[in-house]
Amino acid sequence: MSGRGVLVAVDTLLNERFTYLEGNISVERGDVVYVPFGKGNKKLLGVVVKTDAPIDNLPYELKTLTSFHEEWPRLSEPHMRWLEWISEYYMHPIGWVLKLCFPPLLKKVKGQKSKRPAIVPEVEQSEGHKLNAEQSHCVETISQMPGFATHLIHGVTGAGKTEIYLELFSRTLHAGKRGLFLLPEISLTPQLIHRFAKRFGGEIAVLHSQLTDRERTNQWWDIVEGRKKILIGARSAIFCPIEDLGLIVIDEEHESGFKQDEMLKYSGRDAAIMLGRFRDCPVILGSATPSLESWKNAIDKKFVFHQIKQRVNARPLPDIEVVDMRAEKDLPQKYPMKPFWLSQVLYEEMLNSLARKEQIALLLNRRGMAQAVFCQSCGHTAQCPNCDISLSLHGSAHLVCHYCDYHENFKSKCPDCAEGERVNLGLGTERVEDDLRKLFPDKIIARADRDEIQSRAEMEELVEKMEKSEIDILIGTQMIAKGLDFSNLKLVGLLLADISFNIPDFRASEKSFQLITQMSGRAGRHVKEDEAPGRVYIQTYNTTHESIVFAKNHDYEGFVANELIQRQQLNYPPFHKIASLKIQSPDQRTVYQASEILAQRAEALKNKFEIFREIEVLGPAEAPIAKLKNQFRHHLLLKCGQHKTLNQFIQKLMSDSKWIPKQTKISVDVDPLNLL
């Protein structure tokens, strides 16, 4: 055997690196290569992680590298080190992560023309606003720290954060560097892309889920080869290997959309911060409602903290009123036409708004006509056969599972007892839309939820209609709570705020506070200092819930202070690190037994090593969604003060998988956001 050995992380789910002979191509660390793999010598992709690897005494037959990848460039050292960090922190093989860094197709063959509309519209270019004192101060402070630091900008909705980002990107380009702007998918609105295109014209590349593979490939090369200077994208855009990176901005940093909860379960926000560290460039997090994790980092001085307490031009924040729905039924009923889900006060406000030709947005975070149907005589509820969840009524004839999309026809006779009439329980956006059409027959009503808006084009159309005031009342799910900016929208109603805080999750209050604040922030965004502010009505059955009380007073700091005390008492993040181990199997007994064994092994491991004593093992328990897509689900929650210790513990616990029963899967989620 002769020649140099190189260590390659191969694109498989095996967390192993394999040694190959270099053969007659000459590689360096970061090169993307094809290798023969396994018995059939299947041609797989891999990345060279080390050259000069020893080639003696390997437990497998040495093979030779096949070739370089046709097109993909070598990954730079900072990018490689960042990938290694991701792979280790989230416990996922680096060879598998590799392909996220590259486009789905090979480069375009010449002459092909796309018939799709432009991804970045050509707009007339214009300079931004002249920054006010608070904005300038923030920009100057950040500009004076060109190397790696994480900045948190906490600014109320409409504080002018986006304008700050634009100025920072402009300076980055002047310095000859490139920028990365990350947003949750849902906030990647046409309005936002327009604003960037106006400022930077042809310098923008965009990556989001609605692009075709060809478009994605072209955008990728445009930024990687430097024809474009700013990449705007959803979380996965962080993998794009951009050299000369001078700035990373993560807007709406608190959004759970930055977290991926399957396969590589990473946080786009946290990974972006690490990317800034390896690339040695500033990272800016922005939010009106920062996550508790980021807030704590700011008060602990790990992040540089910037605060903007006022809207631009002293525009007033909206007035928020809480409506007690329990008291509604005792009020003298003035409006017999009014549906049960609408309070009298909100109804009257709607009438006033419509009379003034102002727009209204109503939020209900649930789709469909009804949340459940049940039989009046035997009590049977319609359940999804694949998931442990009740089916929702859509339209008049469809029952749909909101988790796996199972559909069946709705029949009004109970299928179980064959005689009872079935009734609808609860409420969904579709039902609200129906009722609104009856209540305001001459008004234009639009609905925005996943049933109605399935593509970016549909969203764009909706936004355009809202901007032109061709819609009077908009009803939607959380889809309408974020990022949208309509000058004539003055009245906002949250129809049933209880939905978001009644979720079995320790972050339910936080998420609820964020949603209420974000949605409220849509009201009266362009009202002048001396005009009446926007108005928000929060309808709820629990008027004293902390997320409502603090949101009503625009008191983010009060809310977090209160919430942090509770988190600390229970050893939850941001004080402790958590990881969840999910055990899944199509067989209910097996999943139960496997989870018991896993818990016993965890206890044994704790007892064996002193350093693991501090780890708390909670469970095993049935997951709140006990069955999903025909898989029964149990979980174990681990808590620990130190990430490193927790990581080592899980590595050890998962290193032996021989005991795991057939068809049973155990998956690890580090820093989980979704505990259902």
Beta strand pairing call for 445-448 and 473-476: parallel
User: DSSP letter string over 25-50?
Assistant: S---TT-EEEEEETTTTEEEEEEEEE
Position 42, amino acid: K
Binding mask 480-519 for ligand ADP (x = CB under 6 A): -----x----------------------------------
User: Is 131 a binder of ligand ADP (CB under 6 A)?
Assistant: yes
The residues in 362-391 that bind Zn ion, with binding defined as CB under 5 A, are: 384, 386-387
Q: Least distance from C-beta 529 to ligand ADP, angstroms?
A: 12
Binding mask 142-161 for ligand ADP (x = CB under 6 A): -------------x-xxxxx
Using the rule CB under 6 A, give the single segment among 125-133, 410-418, 584-592, 597-605 that binds ligand ADP: 125-133
**Closest alpha carbon to 393 in 435, 423, 437:** 423
Distance of alpha carbon 189 from alpha carbon 467, whole angstroms:
13
Binding mask 385-414 for ligand ADP (x = CB under 6 A): ------------------------------
Distance of alpha carbon 561 from alpha carbon 557, whole angstroms:
6
- Of 131 and 436, the one with the shorter C-beta distance to ligand ADP is 131
129 contacts 282 by C-beta, under 8 angstroms = no
* 129 interface partner picked from ligand ADP, Zn ion, none, CB below 5 to 8 A per type: ligand ADP
Cis peptide before 574 (omega within 30 of 0): yes
* Helix (H) or strand (E) run with residue 583 in it: strand 577-585
Q: Least distance from C-beta 290 to ligand ADP, angstroms?
A: 13
Q: Which residues contact 340 (CB under 8 A, 6 or more apart)?
A: none
- Of 382 and 653, the one with the shorter C-beta distance to Zn ion is 382
Residue with tokens 């009590």: 379
Using the rule CB under 6 A, give the single segment among 127-135, 289-297, 621-629, 651-659 that binds ligand ADP: 127-135
Q: Rg (Cα) of the chain, in Å, rounded?
A: 27
Q: Least distance from C-beta 629 to Zn ion, angstroms?
A: 6
- Of 370 and 579, the one with the shorter C-beta distance to Zn ion is 370
User: Is 401 a binder of Zn ion (CB under 5 A)?
Assistant: yes
Q: What value, to the nearest 5°, has the Cα angle with vertex 537 and ends 532 and 540?
A: 165
Neighbours of 170 (CB within 10 A): 18
Distance of alpha carbon 377 from alpha carbon 235, whole angstroms:
49
- Of 298 and 401, the one with the shorter C-beta distance to Zn ion is 401
Q: How many residues does the chain have?
A: 676
Q: Least distance from C-beta 20 to Zn ion, angstroms?
A: 45
The residues in 156-215 that bind ligand ADP, with binding defined as CB under 6 A, are: 157-163
Distance of alpha carbon 147 from alpha carbon 245, whole angstroms:
11
User: DSSP letter string over 576-641?
Assistant: SEEEEEEEEESSHHHHHHHHHHHHHHHHHHHHH-GGGTT-EEEEEEEEEEEEETTEEEEEEEEEES
- 403, 440, 541, 575: which one contacts Zn ion (CB under 5 A)? 403
User: Is 408 a binder of Zn ion (CB under 5 A)?
Assistant: no
Query: How many chain residues bind ligand ADP (CB under 6 A)?
Result: 16
Q: Least distance from C-beta 252 to ligand ADP, angstroms?
A: 9
* 83 interface partner picked from ligand ADP, Zn ion, none, CB below 5 to 8 A per type: none
- 132, 307, 386, 645: which one contacts ligand ADP (CB under 6 A)? 132
Q: Least distance from C-beta 157 to ligand ADP, angstroms?
A: 5
475 contacts 445 by C-beta, under 8 angstroms = yes
- Of 450 and 528, the one with the shorter C-beta distance to Zn ion is 450
* 541 interface partner picked from Zn ion, ligand ADP, none, CB below 5 to 8 A per type: none
82 contacts 278 by C-beta, under 8 angstroms = yes
User: DSSP letter string over 320-378?
Assistant: EEEEEHHHHTTS----TTS-TTS-HHHHHHHHHHHHTT-EEEEE-S--SSBSEEEETTT
Q: Least distance from C-beta 136 to ligand ADP, angstroms?
A: 9
Q: Least distance from C-beta 407 to Zn ion, angstroms?
A: 10
Q: Which residues contact 571 (CB under 8 A, 6 or more apart)?
A: 616, 639
Q: Least distance from C-beta 253 to ligand ADP, angstroms?
A: 12
297 is written with which tokens?
């980092």
Q: Least distance from C-beta 543 to ligand ADP, angstroms?
A: 28
Using the rule CB under 6 A, give the single segment among 128-136, 171-179, 252-260, 589-597 that binds ligand ADP: 128-136
Interface contacts to Zn ion, rule CB under 5 A: 384, 386-387, 401, 403-404, 406
Interface contacts to ligand ADP, rule CB under 6 A: 129-132, 135, 155, 157-163, 312-313, 485
